[in-house]
Structure 1
Amino acid sequence: MSNKEILDKLKNALVNQDINGTVEKTKEALAAGISANDIINDSLALGMRVIGDKFEAAEIYLPQIMMSAKAMNNAMEILRPEMEKEQIGEGSGIAITFVQEGDIHDIGHRLVSTMLGANGFQIVDLGVDVPNEKIMDEVKKVKGKKVLLAGSALMTTSMMSQKDTIVALKEEGLRDDVKVMFGGAPVSQAWVDEIGADATAENAAEAAKVALDLMRK
């Protein structure tokens, strides 16, 4: 069986909320010599994107989302030690990760947090529906250190809060102290440029690479 076939079967197990199958196929992919990064980027992340699309189209509902999320979490437990072995960054900085205020979609957020942690970042995970006041408080706590803000928004309405985050950083005199990376389905490079953030990424694996490049600047 080719690597692509293995990864496709893993993706299908995740999409079908097959928790045991997802674990089994994750182990099979590792045994085949596929890297943890590739398993995430070329299979699990694609599967979660399908789940998100199905949910938006009302083809599946919250229970199915929760089952796929559980399958994803179980796969990540297997992959996390391998990701640490593959780690390409060390002492990369502090990553404050969060989902913007008004948004509780956290699957992509958790995936990005995991990938950043595997690439040498110290993770401060603020969770979901995070107001800008809380973000500013966390930035102040680590002032003077290498800091990355990694914010996620899955909805157009919550994406607007990313602009408010940049405004708040400027008002608090903190903008020059941090690098800011935003992601989520509606987020584009044009949006990032418009609001004055530093970067975006298409997926969790790319987010780790982009974040490392940002911290070197």
Structure 2
Amino acid sequence: MKNRGRLGYIKLLFKFIVTAAYDMTAVVQLDIGDLMGKQEMYDKLRDAIVNQDINGAGPLVQEALDAGLTPFEIINDGLSVGMKIIGDKFEAAEVYLPQIMMSAKAMKAAMEILDPILAEDETSESVGTCIKFVQEGDIHDIGHRLVATMLGANGFTVIDMGVDVPNDKVIEEVAAHKGEKLMLSGSALMTTSMLGQKDVMRLLDEEGLRDSVKVMFGGAPVTDSWIKEIGADATAENAAEAANVALELMKK
């Protein structure tokens, strides 16, 4: 009887192991399928920006939302990847201003779907004020608007100064908000306009404002070494990272 009981227990245990292994295989297959489906959607979103698909970008975003992707996944893993590609192509003279403007329109169409959703999720208590601008001499605002949206969604009160903003106007705005929890975020797509970021840092020092504001610059040509050279605080490779970096800066 003892042997029969032990044999029954072994059979039951074996059945449990086989069943568990089968279930785990199914779970792994499901996870892999989900990942492949997500990546396919990310690629479509990316291509909509790179290929200037103004009419298709909005419906693709809605399709991604309906499939269960979050706005942050759509932006970080899809749209912003396309934005970076088109920025790199512009810097390498592989595309020109008309293509950049068409990509910007595709991005705008995509964000028209996402902006209301992100606005609903905004933190009620502001974590600080961010003065956002595109460097003087630069009118490319794809990344600028995307970062502004992400900062707003993460609790910042965003003051959007727009594009081609003279350095003295930037300094005036910083001075007007001195004493607040303040961050300055500027962007430049072109190397020529990026050089103006150094002038902004110099003017902040000359006006005695540097210690009153955290400074983050972004854009295709901006690197960590450039940030260190000009004495700014940080940069980021994409909009989602920019929001995280900004939040960390405000804690310091």
Does the pair score TM above 0.5? yes
Q: Tell me how far 1:156 sits from its aligned partner.
A: 2.2
Which of 179, 182, 188 is the aligned partner of 2:217?
A: 182
Structure 2 residue aligned with 1:84: 119
Distance 2:92 2:230 in 1: 29
Percent identity for Structure 1 against Structure 2: 66
Q: Does 1:8 align with 2:43?
A: yes
Contact 1:90–1:119, Cα closer than 8 Å, also in 2: no
Structure 1 residue aligned with 2:19: none
Contact 1:80–1:118, Cα closer than 8 Å, also in 2: no
Which of 27, 40, 45 is the aligned partner of 2:62?
A: 27
| Number of residue equivalences | 217
Q: Tell which deviates more after alignment, 73-82 or 56-65.
A: 56-65
Q: What residue identity is the alignment partner of 2:81?
A: L
Distance 2:69 2:218 in 1: 26
Q: TM-score, normalised by structure 1?
A: 0.92
Q: Tell which deviates more after alignment, 148-157 or 83-92.
A: 83-92
Contact 1:15–1:68, Cα closer than 8 Å, also in 2: yes
The 3-state SS of whatever aligns with 2:195 is helix
Unaligned runs of 5+ in 1: none
Q: CA distance change for structure 1 residues 170 and 55 in 2, over 3 Å: closer, same or farther?
A: closer
Contact 2:188–2:219, Cα closer than 8 Å, also in 1: yes
Distance 1:182 1:58 in 2: 22
Contact 1:179–1:214, Cα closer than 8 Å, also in 2: yes
Q: Tell me how far 1:88 sits from its aligned partner.
A: 5.9
Structure 2 residue aligned with 1:46: 81
Distance 1:110 1:123 in 2: 11
Contact 1:89–1:119, Cα closer than 8 Å, also in 2: no
Bigger-Rg structure (1/2): 2
Q: What residue identity is the alignment partner of 2:169?
A: K
Matches within 5 A, 1:1-217: 2-87=37-122, 90-217=125-252
Unaligned runs of 5+ in 2: 1-35
